Amino acid sequence: MPEESLVSLALTFRLAAVTTFVLLLAGVPLAWWLSQTRSRWRGVAGALVTLPVVLPPTVLGFYLLLLMGPHGPVGQFTRWMGLGLLPFTFAGLVVASVIQKLPFVVQPIQNAFEAMGRRPLEVAASLRASPLDAFFTVALPLARPGILTGAVLGFAHTVGEFGVVLMIGGNIPGVTRVAAVQIYNHVEAMEYAQAHLLAAVLLLLSFIAMQAVYFLNRNKVVVA
Amino acid sequence: MIEARFHLTRPGDPPFVLSVEVQAPSVGVTALFGASGSGKTTLLRAIAGLEKIAGGFLKIGEAVWQDQGIFVPTHQRPLGYVFQEASLFSHLSVRENLEYGARRSGGCDERQMQQTAEMLGIAHLLHRDPVTLSGGERQRVAIGRALLTRPQVLLMDEPLASLDQTRKREVLPYVQRLHRDLKIPVLYVSHSPDEVAQLADHIIVLEAGRVVACGPLGETLANVETPIRLGEEAGVVLEGCIGERDERWSLARVDFVGGGIWTRDTGCVMGARVRLRVLARDVSLSCEEPVGSSILNYFPCEIAGQTGDEHPGLLLVRLDVGGSPLLARLTRRSAEALGVVRGKRIWAQVKAAAVVG
């Protein structure tokens, strides 16, 4: 495999790993809140989280570019913090990917929390577990298949991302040129052999990810 | 003493109403008895703090768990709760399930764990995964898990209702044993007159969210002034002990205050304390001593009261057998023919009685 393909693959996996990590940190509490709250904001919050599923990546990328750019509020904030501007950097890619992939992570986790129902938490409370204690010792372990499914989906989706990356990150080798963009470049340059190689790697990876999801959900809810 | 006051109306058609002021003694099993929808589970959940009913009052012994400005959250209430379905944590083993509550309430003592496991017949299941247990085994583990938190009160929400007859018979003896051995009060929600007869010392009867009768089990069941609508299950529970065993005919006599009833010998030893359930439909009346009848048990008694039964043609008659109550169900026609009036001396025949524990 040519060097530039390897570089793009390494970058892709780094992006997917960091994104998945951030997604779990943000997604688990968010999914928990969505599954438990009776707030009237629940519907709005749920719609906002799910929006990227239907929103064209270029649209999301465009608005993020404006927000994080030198004239956008986020851009002015990151500059004020001394972080510079996020577009066309790896950090910018992570931010965009996290927002774009949030629904794929939040939904399976939220479903797992909801399928569990209130009963296990009531049992935990009757056994002297505080709400926080019950969250870590009962809710999280019971929702494990959902959390793993969310992580796999988030990772796999990020590996394949094209539109948002192109809008926010552009096409900088080693910084923002991920595998999907690299494939596009190869095809543009009529380098079909190289494109094949990278595409095959992504195909195989996606298949493995789906197998994992299937395996995790084969016996969905176990009630004892 | 457990004191609870809860008033709640939930919109609906018809609206759900719970309006109770109850007191339960601090020893023994108090049954919360009523049809489904009568509010008994809601009351139990309110006592556990799983349901927050504004304006309620709840005091267990000296501790106030709920009052104006006070609401002790469930996890800080020293109670044990057994749900209708066992609800074991499927990600933990049986032992870990038992330890979960014990650890959070002052440490887990291995000896106590073994004792509890043995009392409930689950000692051989400790290493198992809850999903591999039968329904009855799961419910016993759930009971053990609740007991190991060393609760000051045990709340049980129809713990046998989700089990089939066989499993029920498997779990019931363990619950009866709790009843004997436990020093803490138990609130036991049930809609089964059978379970109540076997387990309860006191009974609180709920109907459409209101208390219609409460008091010691024997008296309350036999009270014809505020009859509990039990239909075919109407009857009394007598406390007694085995006074004689007739091995030739496999019979045993249960002696209670005022008399003795011969019943099938269930293998109880002489002197053992037992409960005898006598259904009103199995008691008939006669003006003369009923000699030459196939019925073994008859005694003189006095009519203490009467009330209409659910069917317009039937009556429930309360009898006083030397201090113990009996209920007889007869048709209004027979009652008139016999001349049933309060204070009249009459013979009661008991066709069947069951030892229930």
**DSSP per-residue letters across B228-251:** ---GGG-EEEEEEEEEEEETTTTE
Asked whether the beta carbons of residue B90 and residue A119 sit closer than 8 angstroms, the reply is: no
Is A16 a domain residue? Answer: yes
- Whether the link from the prior residue into A173 is cis, omega within 30° of 0, is no
Helix, strand, coil shares of chain A, percent, nearest 5, are: 75, 0, 25
Residue in A with minimal Cα distance to B141: A224
Same domain, B223 and B249: no
Is A23 a domain residue? Answer: yes
Spatial strand order of the sheet with B297-308 comes to B283-286, B345-350, B297-308, B314-321, B324-331
Give the 3-state secondary structure of residue B30.
Answer: strand
Q: Which residues of B touch A127 (CB under 8 A)?
A: 75, 100-101, 104-105, 145-146, 149
Which residues from A are below 8 Å from B when comparing CB atoms? 119-120, 122-131, 133-134, 137-138, 141-142, 144, 222-224
* pTM: predicted TM-score of the whole model, two decimal places: 0.82
DSSP state of B294: S
Considering its fold, how many domains does chain A have in total? 1
Of B86, B104, B131, the CB nearest to A127: B104
**Distinct helix (H) and strand (E) counts, chain A:** 12, 0
Look up the CATH number of the domain holding residue B333. Answer: 2.40.50.100
Considering its fold, how many domains does chain B have in total? 2
Residue in B with minimal Cα distance to A132: B75
Task: Print pLDDT tens along chain B (357 aa).
Answer: 899 999 999 888 888 889 999 999 888 899 999 888 889 999 999 999 999 999 999 999 899 999 999 999 999 999 999 999 879 999 999 999 999 999 999 877 889 899 899 989 999 999 999 999 998 999 999 999 999 999 999 999 999 888 888 888 888 888 888 877 888 899 999 988 888 888 889 999 998 899 988 988 888 888 766 666 677 778 888 888 998 888 898 999 999 988 889 998 888 888 888 888 899 889 999 888 888 888 889 889 999 988 888 788 888 899 999 888 899 999 999 988 888 888 889 999 998 888 887
Q: In the numeric block, which tokens belong to residue B63? A: 């501790």
Same domain, B6 and B114: yes
Please give the C-alpha separations between residue B265 and each of A191, B62, B80, B251, in angstroms, as whole numbers. 94, 45, 36, 4
Residue in B with minimal Cα distance to A221: B90
A121: containing domain:
3-219
- Residue B140 · residue B122 · CB < 8 Å: yes
Residue in B with minimal Cα distance to A143: B91
**Test the A interface: residue of B77, B83, B91, B128 with most A CBs within 10 Å:** B91
* Amino acid at residue number A166: L
Is A224 a domain residue? Answer: no
Asked whether the beta carbons of residue A138 and residue B89 sit closer than 8 angstroms, the reply is: yes
Same domain, B84 and B107: yes
Is A202 a domain residue? Answer: yes
Q: Which residues, listed in sequence order, are joined to residue B215 by a DSSP beta bridge?
A: B203
Look up the CATH number of the domain holding residue A10. Answer: 1.10.3720.10
Asked whether the beta carbons of residue B91 and residue A142 sit closer than 8 angstroms, the reply is: yes
Same domain, B325 and B350: yes
B245: containing domain:
235-354
The strand pair at B283-286 and B273-279 is best described as: unpaired
Q: Which residues of B touch A119 (CB under 8 A)?
A: 83, 85, 87
